[in-house]
Amino acid sequence: MAGLDLSLVLMLSVLAGVREVSLTQVNQQGVIAPGDIIIGGLFPIHEAVEAVNYTGLNSFSSFQHPVCNRYYTKGLNQALAMIHAVEMANQSPMLSSLNLTLGYRIYDTCSDVTTALWAVQDLTRPYSYCDSQTNSSQPVQPIMAVIGPSSSEISIAVARELNLLMIPQISYASTATILSDKSRFPAFMRTVPNDEYQTHAMVQLLKDNKWTWVGIIITDGDYGRSAMESFVKHTEREGICVAFKVILPDSLADEQKLNIHINETVDIIEKNTKVNVVVSFAKSSQMKLLYEGLRSRNVPKNKVWVASDNWSTSKNILKDVNLSDIGNILGFTFKSGNVTAFLQYLKDLKFGSEAKMNNSFLEEFLKLPEIGNAANAVQEQIKNTHLDMVFSVQMAVSAIAKAVVELCVERQCKTPSAIQPWELLKQLRNVTFEKEGVMYNFDANGDINLGYDVCLWDDDESEKNDIIAEYYPSNSSFTFTRKNLSNIENVLSKCSDSCQPGEYKKTAEGQHTCCYECLACAENQYSNHTDADTCSKCDTESLWSNANSSKCYPKFYEYFEWNSGFAIALLTLAALGILLLISMSALFFWQRNSLVVKAAGGPLCHLILFSLLGSFISVIFFVGEPSNESCRVRQVIFGLSFTLCVSCILVKSLKILLAFQMNLELKELLRKLYKPYVIVCMCMGLQVTICTLWLTLHRPFIEKVVQPKSILLECNEGSDLMFGLMLGYIVLLALICFTFAYKGRKLPQKYNEAKFITFGMLIYLMAWVIFIPVHVTTSGKYVPAVEVVVILISNYGILSCHFLPKCYIIIFKKEYNTKDAFLKNVFEYARKSSENIRGLSGTDPHSKTDNSVYVISNPSLVPEEKQVSVPEIDNVL
C-alpha cells in the first residue's frame, strides 16, 4: 500500500510539472509581421551557454530554459535576410497582382534543440494562451511553411515535429545527408546541397593535392556522424587514409567536459606529426577553443584545415589567434548570387524605429555594449553578412512565394485556411522559380544543389574570404580562380614518402594502407607512376626490364649482324677468296694447255673453282637478319657446291690411282669405270636428292629464341638428321678422296696431286670434326659464324693445297711447266722406284718389265741410256 502511494505521488508530480511547463512557457517569438500567408522562421539569435540540470524528484516541476545570453550576430543577419526577402516578395508584381502578402513569425532557436522544439510548438498551436500579450484567447493564423533552422542537428528534430502536420520546412544551411531521405523527412526541403556532395568535394580536393594521411574532427550528433560516415566512405574509395577521428561533445554548456575533449584533441594532433591536413565538421566555437589550445603547443604551423560549411565563414574564431599560428584554412561555402539589394537594405535600415516597432531582437542587439548605436549596428551587420547564407534564405522565400502564387491563381487565398500546408508542400516540390534571371527548382530529394565555393582565409578581420576555386557537382571537378597557391600545394600530408616509378607499396599487416614501405620492382616488372600498389608485368615475349624499372623496353632482335667486326672479317676473307678464285680461274684458262694445268685436272679445275665460288657465296647468307628463304638457301648452296668440289677431287683421286696402280686387273677395271663427268653427276645427284627431300619434308625456317633482353633470330635446320645427312655425305666423299690420294702420296714431287689432295681433305675433315662439338655447344648469334669459319677453312684449304702450288709453278717456275721437265721428273721417279724394287728383290729390274705397270707410251722422249719403265703419260695427264 505504501508503494502504491509513492507511485501515485510520482505520477501527480509529473502531471503537475507538465501542466506547469505548459502554463509558464515563455513566448520565444521576437519578430512578427501580418500577412495573408504566414511563414515561420527559426534562426539562432543566441547561443545557449549554461546546461539544464535535472536533479531530484522535483526537477520535473522546475523546468528551466537554457540561458541564451550569448548574442549571435550572424543569426540576426540571417533573420534580417528573411525579413528583407519577404518585403521584396510582397512588392513583386507576382503577389501584387493577386493582392496577397506574406507575413512571418520569427523565433530564436538559441542554437539549442529543446528551445527550437518549444518554438515549433508555439508556431503550430491553433490558439494563443491567456498569458499572451493581449491576455485574451484569440485565434492564431496558422503558418504555411517554416524557413530554417541552420543547424542540421536542430533541423532533424524540428522536421520530425513538422512532419506530423506536413508543414513544409525549407532550411537554408542544414546539410546532413539523412535529411534527403524523403521516407523519413517528407516535409523537409533545403536550398543547399547535402553533405554527400560536400564530403565528395573535400575528398576530391585531398586527392588532387595528394593528401592521403588526414584527420577528421566532428561534433557529436546526427549531423557530425553522418558527415564522418560519408567522408570516410569517399576516402576509402580514393585510397586516402584517416589517421584519427575526433568526436567533440555536442553541448557547449558543459565547459569542463568540452575542455577535456579539446585538450585530448590537441594531444592527438600533436602526436600525429605527419598529419598536416585536418578536415573539420565541428562548431565554430569548438574550433576557436581548439586553435587556442594548439597555439600553446609545439605543433607545426604549416597545417591545412579544411572547414565544412558549418564554420567556414566564422572568422571570429581568429579573434584571439593569428592565422600564422595555425596554418591555412580552406573553407567550403555554398554558392551565392547577387545580394547587393540586401546590403543596401542594411544600410538603409532604421534600427531605432524597427526595434521599437516589432523586432525585439534588434532592440536587444542595439543594447549590446560593443554596439551602442545604429551606425555601429549597421557596420557590424554588414561585417557579419555571409553572402551564401543570405542567398539561400532569399531562395527559400522566393520558392514559397512562387508556390503560393501558383496555388492562389484559381482560389481566394485571402480567406483563412484557403490553402493547407500539405498543398503548399506538394506545390513546392514541383515549383520552378526565378532569381536574377536564373531558374531554380528542387530535385527529387528536395534539395537545390548549386555546388560550392572554396575560400582561403586571410588575416583580414572582415568575414569575406578570397574564393580560390569553384566546385561543380555535375562533373565532380574544381575550377580554380586563383593560380598562386604554393603555400597550399607545397603541404605534404602522407604517412609514408611517395614510392617512385620503379617501386611499389608494401603495407605491413594491420597498418593503414597509406603507411607502407617502398620496394623495387623485380626484373621484367615495372611501375610507371608514383605510389603504385603493384608492379605490372612486362610481356616477356617482346619486352624486358631491369629491377627497379619504370617502363618496359622492347627486346632487340639479335643476329649475326653485317656491321659486327667478326662478320666484316669473315666477309672480307670470303671476298678475298672470290678474288683468288677469279684470278686462278683466269690464270688456269690462260694456261689451259700447259702440263701443270692438265696434271691438275684440266677442265675439272675450272669446275672445282666454280664450286668453290658457290661455297664462298653461301657465306653471305649466313650473315645478316635471317629469313626463311636465307635459312633454306645457305645450307643448300654450300652443300651442293662443296659436294661438286669434292666430287671433282674424287675424280682426280681416281685418275691418280688409275695411273699408278700396279695391279693390272684392278687397273683395267678402274679404267672402264673411270667416267669423270658421270661420276661427278652421280655424286651430285645423290646430294641433290638429299637436299630436295630436306626442303620438302623438313625445310629450315627462322626461329625466334626469346632471351632475357633480346630475341635471337636464328635458323632452325628443320631436321638435324637431314642436316647431318647432307654434311655426312660430303664427309664420306672426302674420306674416299683421302683414302685414294693417300695411296698415291709418293708420286713425283713436282706434280704430286695425291699429296695435295691428301692434305686438302685432311684439313677439311679436321675442320668439320672440330665444327661438330663447337656447333652443338655454342649458342647465340655467333652460331652461324662457326659454320662460316669452317667453310672458309675448307675452301682455303682446297685453294692452298690444290691451286696455289700450280699457280706458283706457272708464274715463278715456268721451267717446270714443260713436257721435258715433266718427263724428266717422271723418269727420275721411275728410276728410283726400279732401284728400290731391285734392292728389295735382288733381281734385275728389266726382267720385270713385262709385269710392271710403268710403261713409257712414247720411249723416244727419253734417251736410250735412260730408258726405264715409267707411267704412261696419257694416264698421268
pLDDT tens profile 541-576: 889 999 999 999 999 999 999 999 999 999 999 999
pLDDT tens profile 355-395: 445 678 888 888 888 887 888 888 888 888 888 899 999 99
CB–CB of 713/626 below 8 Å?
yes
Residue 53 sits at φ, ψ, to 5 deg, of -100, 130
The mean per-residue pLDDT over the stretch 822-840 comes to: 61
Give residue 825's pLDDT.
65
Which of 71-80, 655-664, 839-848 is modeled with the greatest confidence?
71-80
Residue 302 sits at φ, ψ, to 5 deg, of -105, 20
- The domain defined by 25-50+65-193+340-346+386-441 folds into Rossmann fold (3.40.50)
Give residue 571's pLDDT.
93
| Bridge partners, residue 771, by sequence | none
Question: Residue 605 burial by CB count (10 A; 0-12/13-18/19+): exposed, middle or buried?
Answer: buried
Give residue 846's pLDDT.
46
So where are the chain's domains? 25-50+65-193+340-346+386-441, 565-814
For cell 624486358, the residue is: 544
Give residue 463's pLDDT.
59
C-alpha separations of 20 from 14, 61, 257, 851 in Å:
10, 7, 31, 164
With a pLDDT cut of 90, the percent of the chain lying above it is 38
pLDDT tens profile 700-717: 999 988 888 889 999 988
Nearest Cα to 781, choosing from 563, 544, 457? 563
Return the exposure string of 793-804: e unless at least 16 CB atoms fall within 10 Å of the residue's CB, then b: bbbbbbbebbbe
With a pLDDT cut of 70, the percent of the chain lying above it is 82
d(CA 68, CA 109): 9
d(CA 422, CA 430): 13
Options 1.10.10.10, 1.10.150.130, 2.60.120.620, 1.20.1070.10; which CATH number does 565-814 get? 1.20.1070.10
The mean per-residue pLDDT over the stretch 197-225 comes to: 91
d(CA 496, CA 35): 63
pLDDT band at 402 (very low <50, low <70, confident <90, very high): very high
**Residue 134: DSSP 8-state:** T
* Amino acid letter, 694: W
d(CA 331, CA 320): 19
pLDDT tens profile 21-80: 333 343 455 788 999 999 999 999 988 765 444 444 444 444 556 677 788 888 999 999
**Residue 474: DSSP 8-state:** T
Contacts of residues 481-489 at CB distance under 8 Å and 24 or more positions apart, as own/partner, are 482/456, 485/456, 487/328, 488/209, 488/304, 488/328, 488/330, 488/456, 489/209
The mean per-residue pLDDT over the stretch 479-504 comes to: 86
pTM of the model: 0.63
pLDDT band at 276 (very low <50, low <70, confident <90, very high): very high
d(CA 265, CA 246): 7
Instruction: Evaluate if residue 834 carries a pLDDT over 70.
Output: no
